[in-house]
Amino acid sequence: MKRVVALGGGHGLAATLAAVRRYADDVCAIVSVADDGGSSGRLRAAFGIPPPGDLRKCLVALADPASLWTSAFEHRFDAGELQGHAFGNLVLAGLAASTGDFEQALAEAGRLLGAVGRVVPATTEPVVLKAVIRRAGGHGDDSITGQVAVGRSEGIAGVSLVPADARAPEAALAALATADQVVLGPGSLFTSVLAVVAVPSVRDALAVTPGRKVYVCNLRPQLPETAGYDVAAHVNALRAHGLDIDVVLCQPDSLPVGRLDVECVQRPVARPDGTGHDPALLAAALEALLD
């Protein structure tokens, strides 16, 4: 039995799940819920639910690819009052209202889609991402709030959540307690990966998980969020937020490695056009890193 937990958000976590489902027997995704933009932000503001967009992407990555529901979940309306909304986001909002329990809504959506793993939010409480930004020239720090605003910032020194004591669901903590492997990234370092690590109970669970912690590094800088970052800078940012990883997986000849003091495995994991991670190549590389 290979138990794998993947953390993060957005397209990066979805890419990891598309790979992990190829070799893991038990898959759990712990997903950032700090998004405040687009369809997710509108539904969050209207109904007081966690933003569903990244959760939807993860459900689709684990879903039955032959199911009509899988393609329907990604349909985005382009006219009328629903313009900009993804159908899957609306389904999750409706299931949350019907069940009164957002975790149950995700489980029901997973059954509808034939998902091969579980998708859980990093926290079911409404949270706001907050960042400390270094001023140019070292003239003090500024504070900025909101995931969209943080993602548009350069010189991020660190991120946290408001409220600071937001808790993770027990399902997330239980998955980390029995994991054989924990995969973080790829994706937005501060606004996806560290937005999950910023949940105190998740950070504590990561410190004691028996799973080997693998950080899948991005193929290129994400501007402006990680402008000028090499692989070592990514690792240092994780460490500054209380997370020590065991190994970094990166594409050869992508980001400069820099001075690392953890194991670094360089293997081809990118698509031929270099625009993203190839699920089959990433699966082979991650499976080789299982203890």
Residue 76 pairs with which residues in a beta bridge? 86
**Which strand ranges, in their side-by-side order, compose the sheet holding 156-162?**
141-145, 128-134, 156-162
Which region among 8-12, 18-22, 209-213, 233-237 has the lowest average model confidence (pLDDT)?
8-12
Residues of the chain with CATH 3.40.50.10680: 3-125+167-288
Closest among 152, 190, 208, 181 to 282, alpha carbons compared = 181
> Quick one: how far is CA 253 from the chain centroid?
24
Closest among 23, 57, 8 to 218, alpha carbons compared = 8
Residue 193 pairs with which residues in a beta bridge? none
Q: Give start and end residues of each alpha helix (H) in the chain.
A: 10-20, 38-47, 53-62, 68-73, 87-99, 102-113, 147-151, 170-177, 194-197, 200-208, 231-240, 279-288
- CB atoms under 10 Å from CB of 202, counted, come to 23
Structural class in CATH, domain 3-125+167-288: alpha beta
The answer, as to whether pTM is greater than 0.85, is: yes
pLDDT given at position 139: 64
Average pLDDT over residues 57-68: 95
- pLDDT tens sequence across 230-242: 999 999 999 999 9
> Quick one: how far is CA 2 from the chain centroid?
20
- pLDDT tens sequence across 162-171: 999 999 999 9
Q: How far apart are CA 158 and CA 171, in angstroms?
A: 27
